[in-house]
Protein backbone atom coordinates (compact mmCIF):
# COMPACT_ATOMS: atom_id res chain seq x y z
CA UNK A 1 0.00 0.00 0.00
CA UNK A 2 1.37 3.38 -1.02
CA UNK A 3 1.50 6.28 1.43
CA UNK A 4 2.43 9.96 1.13
CA UNK A 5 6.14 9.30 1.74
CA UNK A 6 6.15 6.82 -1.16
CA UNK A 7 4.49 9.39 -3.42
CA UNK A 8 7.01 12.10 -2.48
CA UNK A 9 9.95 9.71 -2.94
CA UNK A 10 8.73 8.82 -6.44
CA UNK A 11 8.14 12.45 -7.38
CA UNK A 12 11.66 13.38 -6.24
CA UNK A 13 13.71 10.27 -7.05
CA UNK A 14 11.90 8.57 -9.91
CA UNK A 15 9.03 6.23 -10.61
CA UNK A 16 9.07 2.45 -11.07
CA UNK A 17 9.67 1.18 -14.57
CA UNK A 18 6.39 0.48 -16.37
CA UNK A 19 5.64 -2.57 -18.46
CA UNK A 20 5.58 -2.05 -22.23
CA UNK A 21 5.33 1.66 -23.04
CA UNK A 22 2.72 3.15 -25.37
CA UNK A 23 4.15 5.97 -27.48
CA UNK A 24 2.20 7.79 -30.18
CA UNK A 25 2.66 11.00 -32.13
CA UNK A 26 0.59 14.09 -31.38
CA UNK A 27 -1.43 13.42 -34.56
CA UNK A 28 -2.13 9.83 -33.47
CA UNK A 29 -3.29 10.97 -30.00
CA UNK A 30 -5.55 13.61 -31.58
CA UNK A 31 -7.10 11.00 -33.88
CA UNK A 32 -7.82 8.60 -30.98
CA UNK A 33 -9.14 11.07 -28.39
CA UNK A 34 -11.92 13.64 -28.25
CA UNK A 35 -10.71 17.25 -28.12
CA UNK A 36 -11.58 17.37 -24.39
CA UNK A 37 -9.76 14.10 -23.63
CA UNK A 38 -6.74 15.33 -25.59
CA UNK A 39 -6.66 18.62 -23.68
CA UNK A 40 -6.78 16.92 -20.29
CA UNK A 41 -4.43 13.99 -20.96
CA UNK A 42 -1.88 15.38 -23.41
CA UNK A 43 -1.92 19.11 -22.50
CA UNK A 44 -2.31 18.70 -18.71
CA UNK A 45 -5.76 20.27 -18.64
CA UNK A 46 -8.35 20.04 -15.88
CA UNK A 47 -12.05 19.44 -16.36
CA UNK A 48 -14.58 21.54 -14.46
CA UNK A 49 -15.38 20.28 -10.96
CA UNK A 50 -18.63 18.27 -10.72
CA UNK A 51 -18.82 18.03 -14.54
CA UNK A 52 -18.77 14.22 -14.65
CA UNK A 53 -21.20 11.56 -13.49
CA UNK A 54 -18.15 9.49 -12.46
CA UNK A 55 -17.99 11.53 -9.24
CA UNK A 56 -21.15 9.80 -8.02
CA UNK A 57 -20.74 6.40 -9.68
CA UNK A 58 -19.78 3.67 -7.19
CA UNK A 59 -20.59 0.47 -9.08
CA UNK A 60 -18.10 -2.42 -9.14
CA UNK A 61 -15.57 -2.25 -11.91
CA UNK A 62 -12.19 -0.98 -12.85
CA UNK A 63 -10.93 2.20 -14.43
CA UNK A 64 -8.44 2.30 -17.28
CA UNK A 65 -6.44 5.09 -18.93
CA UNK A 66 -8.52 6.57 -21.77
CA UNK A 67 -5.36 6.87 -23.88
CA UNK A 68 -3.77 3.42 -23.63
CA UNK A 69 -6.31 1.26 -21.75
CA UNK A 70 -3.88 0.45 -18.91
CA UNK A 71 -5.78 -0.49 -15.76
CA UNK A 72 -5.33 2.25 -13.15
CA UNK A 73 -7.93 1.94 -10.37
CA UNK A 74 -10.43 -0.49 -8.88
CA UNK A 75 -13.85 0.86 -7.87
CA UNK A 76 -13.35 -0.66 -4.40
CA UNK A 77 -10.76 2.11 -3.79
CA UNK A 78 -13.12 4.89 -4.95
CA UNK A 79 -14.65 7.28 -2.42
CA UNK A 80 -16.70 10.47 -2.37
CA UNK A 81 -14.19 13.21 -1.58
CA UNK A 82 -16.70 16.02 -2.17
CA UNK A 83 -14.14 17.77 -4.41
CA UNK A 84 -15.96 17.38 -7.72
CA UNK A 85 -13.55 14.88 -9.26
CA UNK A 86 -13.47 11.07 -9.00
CA UNK A 87 -11.19 10.13 -6.10
CA UNK A 88 -9.40 6.90 -5.22
CA UNK A 89 -7.27 5.80 -2.27
CA UNK A 90 -4.81 3.56 -4.16
CA UNK A 91 -3.91 2.61 -7.74
CA UNK A 92 -4.74 -0.93 -8.88
CA UNK A 93 -0.99 -1.72 -9.05
CA UNK A 94 1.81 0.26 -7.40
CA UNK A 95 3.53 0.83 -10.76
CA UNK A 96 0.38 1.91 -12.68
CA UNK A 97 0.64 5.59 -11.73
CA UNK A 98 3.69 7.87 -11.91
CA UNK A 99 4.16 10.86 -9.56
CA UNK A 100 5.79 14.15 -10.59
CA UNK A 101 6.44 17.39 -8.76
CA UNK A 102 4.12 20.12 -10.09
CA UNK A 103 4.88 23.77 -9.26
CA UNK A 104 2.33 25.30 -11.67
CA UNK A 105 -0.08 28.06 -10.64
CA UNK A 106 2.10 29.02 -7.66
CA UNK A 107 1.29 25.77 -5.82
CA UNK A 108 3.33 22.71 -4.86
CA UNK A 109 1.38 19.62 -5.87
CA UNK A 110 2.09 16.09 -7.05
CA UNK A 111 0.86 15.41 -10.58
CA UNK A 112 -0.19 11.87 -11.50
CA UNK A 113 0.32 10.39 -14.93
CA UNK A 114 -0.27 7.00 -16.50
CA UNK A 115 3.03 5.20 -16.13
CA UNK A 116 2.48 3.47 -19.50
CA UNK A 117 1.72 6.42 -21.83
CA UNK A 118 2.41 9.56 -19.72
CA UNK A 119 -1.21 10.76 -19.91
CA UNK A 120 -1.98 13.45 -17.34
CA UNK A 121 -4.56 12.05 -14.92
CA UNK A 122 -4.79 14.59 -12.10
CA UNK A 123 -3.05 15.02 -8.74
CA UNK A 124 -2.56 13.09 -5.51
CA UNK A 125 -2.96 14.63 -2.05
CA UNK A 126 -2.22 13.44 1.51
CA UNK A 127 -5.77 14.06 2.79
CA UNK A 128 -7.45 10.76 1.91
CA UNK A 129 -8.99 8.20 4.25
CA UNK A 130 -6.98 5.66 6.28
CA UNK A 131 -5.06 3.48 6.11
CA UNK A 132 -2.98 5.00 3.27
CA UNK A 133 -4.23 8.56 3.63
CA UNK A 134 -4.04 9.25 -0.11
CA UNK A 135 -6.55 10.97 -2.37
CA UNK A 136 -5.91 10.38 -6.05
CA UNK A 137 -8.01 13.21 -7.50
CA UNK A 138 -8.54 12.25 -11.15
CA UNK A 139 -9.99 13.91 -14.21
CA UNK A 140 -12.91 11.72 -15.30
CA UNK A 141 -12.02 12.48 -18.93
CA UNK A 142 -8.72 10.63 -18.39
CA UNK A 143 -10.50 7.46 -17.26
CA UNK A 144 -12.60 4.80 -18.96
CA UNK A 145 -14.80 2.65 -16.72
CA UNK A 146 -14.70 -1.08 -17.42
CA UNK A 147 -17.36 -3.51 -16.29
CA UNK A 148 -16.35 -6.06 -13.66
CA UNK A 149 -14.47 -8.82 -15.50
Question: Which pLDDT score is estimated for 149?
Answer: 55
The answer to whether residue 100 scores a pLDDT higher than 60 is yes
Question: Which pLDDT score is estimated for 142?
Answer: 98
The closest of 115, 15, 107 to 67, measured between CA atoms, is: 115
pTM of the model: 0.94
Q: What is the mean pLDDT of the chain?
A: 95
Average pLDDT over residues 10-25: 94
Q: How many domains does the chain have?
A: 1
Domain holding 66, by residue range, is 4-15+23-146
What percent of the chain shows pLDDT beyond 70? Answer: 98
The answer to whether residue 82 scores a pLDDT higher than 70 is yes
- Is 137 an active-site residue? yes
pLDDT digits (tens, 9 = 90+) for 36-60: 999 999 999 999 999 999 888 899 9
- Residue in 55, 68, 114, 137 annotated catalytic: 137
- Return phi, psi of residue 51, to 5°: -90, -5
**CATH number of the structural domain spanning residue 124:** 2.170.150.20
The CA distance from 137 to 120, in Å, is: 12
Amino acid sequence: MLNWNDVLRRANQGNPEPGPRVVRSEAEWRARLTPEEYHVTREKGTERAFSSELCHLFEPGRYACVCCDTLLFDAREKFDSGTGWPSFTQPIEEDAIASHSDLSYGMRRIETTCNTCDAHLGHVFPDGPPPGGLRYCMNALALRKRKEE
